[in-house]
Chain A
């Protein structure tokens, strides 16, 4: 009886301490998300919502070829962005962890995080400037005399309103999200494991493959999730870089929620997209767990 009082008192203090934040999150995060879930089963009346449970929204969403095309495009972009971001981030994280002296690590991390904190909209817009028809890249080629009739490139590149352009822009935005978890995972690896790997006859490269990579997998998985899930919901980049011609899920949700004011439909799209993303993410985590030992 007396045995458990200390633990119980500690738990009580813990609950009291976390209560303000928890209540805030319940009221302003959990409740709204549940409301969206509920709305997705309601019917849209003009200017109001009819509280009548129906699957009509979901049927409409999933039979709509436009939605399917947009969802597929969003997923494609998200996969591209994730592959690009994580693929390019890994060497950077590796460099930070192994190639930078301990005293300089936080400076490098600081350098890498700064662009992430500077005006998102302006950054996206500048990618439009860089990749535009008479933008930095094209005019650069022109200045170098590589472009024009009979030169290396005949015409300026049309880069905007393409999926790769969207992917590059988003990869830029989410870079720190990919670098940091991998860096943290690499930092946790005991340095003597590398020496042990070399000592046991592995080359640098095979040591990397057999020791470093598997041990850093948890970081890679975290990076993938932290990039893949939010990218699906990006609104600004398709709007600015895609020029509105390549909408993604977020643009569709926004259109239903605000201009069209069909909130049940918007909710159904949001829920469908989030469920799809979550399922894909879970499948990914499951596959990694099966194939890579050492990943948790």
Chain B
């Protein structure tokens, strides 16, 4: 993947709206054929950044390169990118086929050839036979498919998707996510997705840029992002993470010695230290990295004692709030409800298995 050539390059992009500093020096590269996501809370600048690729947003300084060409003087209609809008922007006065063929007006091919292309593309997005339908009579999911077909029929180098799933019901959303991944794999086109939904980004992307306040906080593949978040903020935004107060008491070449509230003294390797610094020292771990042991069950790792303070039942999962060794704060542990496993009651004393390798030191 990493050997592919760059498709989009952001060089120190700055964007101001009046006094408001919307993009603060974005530098990043999106590679050819990659499914890339811009993830962040609303107002973090992710949509603005996407729109600078399409050419709808002027940048105050810096440069956007598409396939090696500076886009500064190139208007949206001359860029080899196409967009799926958040509202889908389906032309309500046209039929489905007319919408899909909209961008082919200047294409020299014959009408029959174009009609064939349209039917082909509608088939690819699962709308075969819908060509004659009026656009304003479509459902949300169908609109999105039309928007996809309309953009993809032009064979863009990059497809831009602005929160395309946000208006869909959960079931249809999950279905569309899978279809989009397949479509991207088949076509090999670079996809850039904007989303505020971390789950969606994790499911779909090859790489994710997490943005806060106009800056990229971390750019990594989903697994690295989840396993080794660069900062506390990224860790909190992607999935859930427990934080325990900690104190560094020794640094050596083979590791860092830390005293962790509720867990005691631990030696962490240098690779377990987050790259960004946000002030307070804490040790974090994901809820699924600890296990509440059943009576008589043994574990290969370390064990500690805890008291159950809260039980939240989710069907396939149960979340437990556990106070470890009278620590200052309780931690959340998630467990799959495997067959035959009993759920301890609130107040029960339990043994908890954990591994130092799952800890991350934030400082």
Contact = CB atoms under 8 A, between A and B. Distances in A.
A2 B16 CA distance: 8
A2 B18 contact: no
Given A2-B16, A2-B61, A5-B58, 9 more contacts: A2-B60, A3-B16, A3-B18, A3-B19, A3-B60, A4-B18, A6-B17, A6-B58, A7-B18
Contacts of A3: 16, 18-19, 60
Nearest to A2: B60
A234 B182 CA distance: 71
Interface in B90-117: none
A4 B18 CA distance: 6
A225 to B, nearest CB: 34
Q: How large is the interface on B (under 10, 10 to 19, 20 to 34, 35 or more residues)?
A: under 10
Main SS class of interface, A:
helix
B259 to A, nearest CB: 49
A3 B59 CA distance: 9
A6 B17 CA distance: 8
A1 to B, nearest CB: 9
A6 B60 CA distance: 9
Contacts of B58: 5-6
7 contacts: A2-B60, A2-B61, A3-B16, A3-B18, A4-B18, A6-B17, A6-B58
Contacts of B17: 6
B65 to A, nearest CB: 19
A3 B61 CA distance: 10
Interface in B16-55: 16-19
A7 B15 CA distance: 13
Nearest to B14: A2
Contacts of A5: 58
Contacts of B19: 3
Nearest to A4: B18
Main secondary structure of the interface of B (DSSP, over half): loop
Contacts of A2: 16, 60-61
Contacts of B16: 2-3
A216 B291 CA distance: 61
A2 B17 CA distance: 10
B45 to A, nearest CB: 15
A6 B18 CA distance: 9
Interface string A186-220: 00000000000000000000000000000000000
A279 B58 CA distance: 48
Contacts of B18: 3-4, 7
Contacts of A7: 18
Interface string A1-41: 01111110000000000000000000000000000000000
A7 to B, nearest CB: 6
A3 B58 CA distance: 11
A136 B58 CA distance: 70
Among A2, A4, A5, the most chain B Cβ lie within 10 Å of the Cβ of A2
A17 to B, nearest CB: 19
A164 to B, nearest CB: 52
A2 B13 CA distance: 13
Nearest to A9: B58
Nearest to A6: B58
B59 to A, nearest CB: 9
A69 B204 CA distance: 81
A4 B15 CA distance: 11
A266 B281 CA distance: 84
A5 B60 CA distance: 9
Contacts of A6: 17, 58
Interface string B48-83: 000000000010110000000000000000000000
A183 B60 CA distance: 45
A4 B19 CA distance: 9
A167 B58 CA distance: 59
A8 to B, nearest CB: 11
Contacts of B60: 2-3
Nearest to A5: B58
A202 B61 CA distance: 59
A3 B60 CA distance: 6
Nearest to B16: A3
B52 to A, nearest CB: 12
B13 to A, nearest CB: 12
A7 B18 CA distance: 8
Contacts of A4: 18
Contacts of B61: 2
A2 B58 CA distance: 10
Interface in A27-83: none
A2 to B, nearest CB: 4
A2 B59 CA distance: 9
A3 B19 CA distance: 7
Nearest to A3: B16
A121 B327 CA distance: 88
A7 B60 CA distance: 12
A3 B18 CA distance: 6
Nearest to A7: B18
B11 to A, nearest CB: 16
B48 to A, nearest CB: 12
A4 B20 CA distance: 11
A7 B16 CA distance: 10
B54 to A, nearest CB: 16
Nearest to B57: A6
B128 to A, nearest CB: 36
